Amino acid sequence: MDFLWFLFALGLLCFALGPFVLRRRRGGIQVVAPGSPDAADPEAYGFLRQEEQDVRLPGPDRDLLDVLDVVQATQDWRAASQLLLGTEKEGEVRWQRVQAFAGAASLELAERPGAGGAWLRSWRAEAPEDAGGAQVYAEFLVQQAWRTSAAGAQDFRIILEEARAACEQAALLAPGDPVPYVSELAVARGLGYSAEEFDRLWAKVIDRAPEHMGAHLAALHYWCEKWHGSREDADRFATSAAARAPRGSLLAALPLFSVFENRPEIVLGVDFYRTAVVTKAVEGAMYAVHSARPDDPMLAHVRHLLVHFLVGADRWAEAMHLLVRVDGYVGALPWTLSEDPAAAYTVVRNLVVAGYEANGGSPATLPR
């Protein structure tokens, strides 16, 4: 996080310099005027402007975005119900779509207290036996708890207790579907399930979807030092899952997420990003990305986080190769930790462009 604050400071410096662009050189930073051959121009690579970045998703899902537009424009939930009905329950796509619908309702409510997200309330009232609606509502409560309340506060626990009941109801409506249990993993973290309670919940998840990347990420949070485990617990969970992962599974990237979740409060210089632990986790994630299916819905998540670590190690070319595949969608770590994910992302992206060109790169040399 400290590295991101540094990048924000650099972005403010760029703003203060007005019509100039900062360019990183081996001997320091050189200021060049825009339009000159030396000016780094993100748009030359086809990158979108900050205001065009979609903060709702980590990567493209055209069907979901079309349905979201319809639901929010008409406040009619039926299109969302139909989309989830046609989405397989074992895969990552259903989980991401449930999260997206819940997040959209939560943001609507934040923008229009008392009125926003009315379509979700109607969905639950008019179709109480609809499994998709029950799942979205349970996830909505989880997100509301974490979005609006401080961990440990009374209202935080009240909302999470309500979310736990909603998860149980959603599970009854969809036997064999892992999504309600994945939502409950965040409840377990917030309410402080014992290790035994958590293990029983986790068993229900992996019985239904043993390679579910989203579920593993949610479980990893529970085991982190700032919650109910330790750095060693989190690393053990991540490396064990990665070791069991078949070829092509993005679970091989889980140790990188563990490193990120347990990173030191203060990161000085680039040494942290070049340590043996970080380098090993980065290489494991790179392997996972290269061997994964091109249509794996979790691929964008891993690519976004890899950019963060590659930038920290000044590995500009590798970061650029990932950026051309994720640009346009910024609903993923580490950007979502910022109040303005699009701004956090574009500051880093523009720094990568400058670093890439400072080391001999150009739009012509970047493979697509």
The model's pLDDT over 196-207, given as tens digits with 9 standing for 90+, comes to 999 999 999 999
The pTM of the full predicted model, rounded to 2 decimals, is 0.86
Judged against a pLDDT cut of 50, whether residue 160 lies above it is answered with: yes
- Condensed to tens digits (0 to 9), the pLDDT of residues 78-133 reads 999 999 999 998 789 999 999 999 999 999 998 999 899 999 999 999 999 999 99
Neighbours of 367 (CB within 10 A): 6
Mean predicted confidence (pLDDT) in 264-292? 88
Q: Is the pLDDT of residue 17 over 80?
A: no
* Res. 41 pLDDT band, cuts 50 70 90: confident
Lowest mean pLDDT among 197-201, 207-211, 226-230: 226-230
In three-state form (DSSP H/G/I as H, E/B as E, the rest C), the secondary structure along 179-239 is HHHHHHHHHHHHHCCCHHHHHHHHHHHHHHCCCCHHHHHHHHHHHCCCCCCCHHHHHHHHH
- What's the confidence (pLDDT) of residue 154? 81
> 21 near 39, Cβ under 8 Å?
yes
Q: What is the mean pLDDT of residues 34-49?
A: 70
Exposed/middle/buried for residue 70 (C-beta within 10 Å: 0-12, 13-18, 19+): middle
Inter-residue contact 362 to 41 (CB < 8 Å): no
Q: How far apart are the first and last CA of the chain?
A: 30
Question: pLDDT tens for residues 301-349?
Answer: 999 999 999 999 999 999 999 999 999 999 999 999 999 999 999 999 9
**Spans of all domains in the chain:** 62-210
Predicted local confidence at residue 136, as pLDDT = 98
CATH no. for 62-210: 1.25.40
